[in-house]
C-alpha cells in the first residue's frame, strides 16, 4: 500500500491569545483512519480537515485549510499468510512457583489476509497486551489477538486459548554425583570422586531427578605430570531443563598422578 504523507500542515485562525496559547502549548496530533470504513481508495481533504478540527482543544480556533486535497490509498496485490501467534501478555508467578512446561496456545498460528506488501514484512501476529497473575496454579483462558486497527488486514480467528502450566518448586539434594576427568596427561586418581549437588526443581521432576542427570567435569588440560598444583575447579551442568539455582560441594577436587601404572 502506498504510504500516506508523514505530515499534514494546517492553517488555523482565531483570536490572538488563543493562537499564542495554541502555539506555545500544543503538541503534534496523530491522525488515525480506519481504512475499512472508507468506501474509496482515498481520504478526502475535508475529512482530514474535520479530524484536525475535532482534535483542537481551543474552541475559538478554526482550521482554515490544509496543504493537500486528498490522501491516496493505492493498494497492491492481496494475499494470505499463516503467522505464528506471539504472546504479548506479562506472566507473573508467586514465589516458590514456576512453569512446569512450555506455555501453550491453541491455535498457535493465525491465517492473515491483506496486501502482500504488508504480509511480507510480518513474521508473527501478537496477542493483546496485559498481565496475568501472579499465579500459583495452572491457568487456562481464552485471550484476544491484537486487532489490526488502522490496517487493511483480516484475521481468520480473533482469539486463542492460552494454557500456562504452573507448579510449586522445592530444593533437591542429590548425593554421590560422579566426577568425570578429561584431558588428563597420565594415570591419576582424584579425591573426592563424587560430589553433592543442590538445586531448585519442580515437584513433577523431584523424584525423577538423580545423579545421572548431572555432568560434573574436572578438566586437567595443560597440567604437567609433576605439577605442584594438585587441585582443579569443577564445572557442573544439568540435563534437566527446569532445574534452577544449581550449587555443588565441593567446588574443586584434588588429583594425584600415579607414575608407572597402566590403569586408572
The pTM of this model reads: 0.59
pLDDT 10s per residue in the chain (264 long)?
556 677 888 787 877 777 677 666 666 777 777 766 665 566 777 788 888 788 776 667 778 888 877 676 665 678 899 999 999 999 999 999 999 999 999 999 999 998 888 888 899 999 999 999 999 999 999 999 998 876 678 999 999 999 999 999 999 999 999 999 998 887 888 999 999 999 999 999 999 999 999 999 999 887 776 666 688 999 999 988 889 999 999 999 998 876 555 444
Residue 200 grid coordinates: 531448585
Instruction: Give just the sign of the alpha carbon dihedral 13, 15, 19, 22.
Output: negative
**Structural domains of the chain in order of their starting residue, each with its CATH number:** 10-72 (no CATH), 78-164 (2.170.120.40), 169-257 (2.170.120.30)
Asked if residues 174 and 205 have their Cβ atoms less than 8 Å apart, the reply is no
Query: Which residues are paired to 213 by β-bridges?
Result: none
CA atoms of 83 and 154, how far apart (whole Å): 12
Amino acid at each position: 500500500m502506498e504510504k500516506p504523507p508523514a505530515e499534514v500542515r494546517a492553517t488555523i485562525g482565531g483570536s490572538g491569545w488563543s493562537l499564542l496559547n495554541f502555539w506555545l502549548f500544543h503538541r503534534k496530533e496523530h491522525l488515525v483512519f480506519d481504512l475499512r470504513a472508507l468506501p474509496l481508495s482515498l481520504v478526502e481533504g475535508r475529512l482530514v480537515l474535520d479530524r484536525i478540527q475535532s482534535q483542537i482543544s481551543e474552541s475559538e480556533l478554526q482550521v482554515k485549510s490544509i496543504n493537500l486535497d486528498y490522501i491516496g490509498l493505492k493498494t497492491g496485490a492481496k494475499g494470505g499468510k499463516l503467522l505464528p501467534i506471539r504472546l504479548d501478555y506479562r506472566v507473573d508467578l508467586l514465589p516458590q512457583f514456576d512453569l512446569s512446561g512450555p506455555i501453550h496456545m491453541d491455535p498457535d498460528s493465525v491465517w492473515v489476509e491483506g496486501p502482500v506488501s504488508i504480509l511480507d514484512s510480518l513474521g508473527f501476529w501478537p496477542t493483546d497486551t496485559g498481565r496475568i497473575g501472579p499465579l500459583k496454579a495452572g491457568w487456562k483462558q481464552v485471550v484476544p489477538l491484537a486487532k489490526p486497527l488502522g490496517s487493511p488486514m483480516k484475521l481468520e480467528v480473533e482469539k486463542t486459548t492460552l494454557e500456562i502450566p504452573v507448579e510449586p518448586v522445592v530444593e533437591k539434594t542429590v548425593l554421590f554425583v560422579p566426577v568425570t576427568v578429561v584431558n588428563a596427561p597420565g594415570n591419576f586418581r582424584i579425591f573426592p570422586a563424587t560430589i553433592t549437588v543442590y538445586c531448585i526443581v519442580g515437584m513433577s521432576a523431584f523424584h525423577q531427578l538423580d545423579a545421572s542427570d548431572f555432568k560434573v567435569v574436572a578438566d586437567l588440560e595443560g597440567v604437567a605430570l609433576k605439577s605442584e598444583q594438585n587441585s582443579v575447579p569443577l564445572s557442573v551442568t544439568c540435563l534437566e531443563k527446569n532445574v534452577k539455582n544449581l550449587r555443588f560441594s565441593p567446588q574443586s577436587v584434588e588429583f594425584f598422578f600415579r607414575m608407572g601404572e597402566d590403569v586408572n
